Amino acid sequence: MTSQLSDDLKEEEEEDEESCDNPTEVKMSQIVMPCHCNHRQELSVGQLLKWMDSTACLSAERLAGSLCVTASMDDIHFEHTISMGQVVNLRAKVNRAFNTSMEVGIHVSCEDLYSDRHWRVCHAYATFVTQRTNTGQKVTLKPVVPQSQNEHMEYSVAAERRRVRMVHSDIIKELLASGSVEQADSSAVCSGVAAEKTRVESVELVLPPHANHQVNTFGGQIMAWMVNVATIAARWKRQFNIK
Ligand SMILES: CCCCCCCCCCCCCCCC(=O)SCCNC(=O)CCNC(=O)[C@H](O)C(C)(C)COP(=O)(O)OP(=O)(O)OC[C@H]1O[C@@H](n2cnc3c(N)ncnc32)[C@H](O)[C@@H]1OP(=O)(O)O
């Protein structure tokens, strides 16, 4: 475990040295306080998503020089939990600009100030789109010029990731239309839990703290609400499984 942590640290230091001249790079650090935590005194995923969204948005707006919105965030795999008192370091930069959209890479690591340990928490890719002007004109982005080896690699793969994003919903639609989706196992009907029983609904009143600088509900807040209902739905299921 210790050598894995120091490998992660080394990897981060190398990336830091490489990317120090990138004008779209944004770094933000937050110390985890009780108000950011769940009932287990760990950083709540919703709070982390809010920080990731706001760091990435700043990076996107640095490139665009105008307002941008979060269009999507790709799959995220959380490798470690983060505890109260630890420091979260977020780093975002634009990997590639397309026409009005761009891919922003977000790297999250954690630091324990008292033991001087650092480790990687997750890496995500978000797509931000420039907001149209008051007259409804699209704002086209200037290209990103990769400098370091790592930036060249991210730049090339970003185009492929964008292609996958664009075909993803078409693939699901085709699967549903063709009826080639897996059916539920009918033998599990007696022992299983009806999906409906795990359904959770939440109604949120949009208040000023939920808004971004464009006075819209910001993407990270919406993701945080989604995490809340998903967590409650998952707990329901576990409760039913206890024999
Ligand atoms: C200290 C911290 C405390 C934290 C606590 C305080 C918080 C402090 C505030 C923080 C600040 C944060 C701020 C964050 C920024 C928001 O959170 S913004 C709010 C959340 N996001 C939204 O509301 C977006 C809503 N969606 C939309 O407006 C539209 O669907 C979109 C995304 C603009 C797309 O519009 P459209 O008409 O479908 O556009 P279309 O012309 O078809 O496509 C335009 C481009 O978008 C791309 N695109 C469209 N849909 C998608 C998609 N789903 N995926 C990928 N690309 C897409 C297209 O490929 C196209 O790309 P280009 O070829 O031009 O490069």
Residue 1: predicted pLDDT: 41
Shortest-distance atom of ligand 1 to CA 222? 20
In DSSP terms, 119 is beta-bridged to 110
CA distance 36 to 103: 27
Say which amino acid occupies 195: A
pLDDT on residue 66: 95
> Which backbone phi and psi does 154 adopt, to 5 degrees?
-60, -40
Q: What is the pLDDT of residue 44?
A: 95
In the chain the beta strands, taken as DSSP E runs, fall at 26-31, 68-73, 87-97, 101-112, 117-130
Rounded Cα distance, 8 and 79, in Å: 12
User: What is the 33 CA–ligand 1 centroid distance (Å)?
Assistant: 30
Q: Which of 35, 101, 102, 108 to mutate to test the pocket of ligand 1 (most atoms within 8 A of CB)?
A: 101
Which residues line the pocket of ligand 1, CB cutoff 6 A?
A: 50-51, 53-54, 57, 69-72, 98-101, 127, 129, 165, 212, 216, 218-219
Ligand 1 atom closest to Cα of residue 97: 65
Query: Are the CB atoms for 88 and 114 separated by under 8 Å?
Result: no
Helices (H), 79-192: 149-178
What does the alpha-carbon distance between residue 43 and residue 114 come to, in Å, rounded to a whole number?
18
Indicate the pTM of the whole model: 0.86
pLDDT of res. 11: 54
Name the residue at shortest CA distance from atom 63 of ligand 1. Answer: 99
Task: Report the C-alpha gap between 141 and 156 in whole angstroms.
Answer: 17
Residue numbers in the chain where pLDDT is lower than 70 = 1-20, 188-190, 237-243
Give distance in angstroms: CA of 72 to centre of ligand 1.
Answer: 7
**What's the confidence (pLDDT) of residue 207?**
93
Cα 30 to Cα 86: distance, rounded to the nearest angstrom: 9
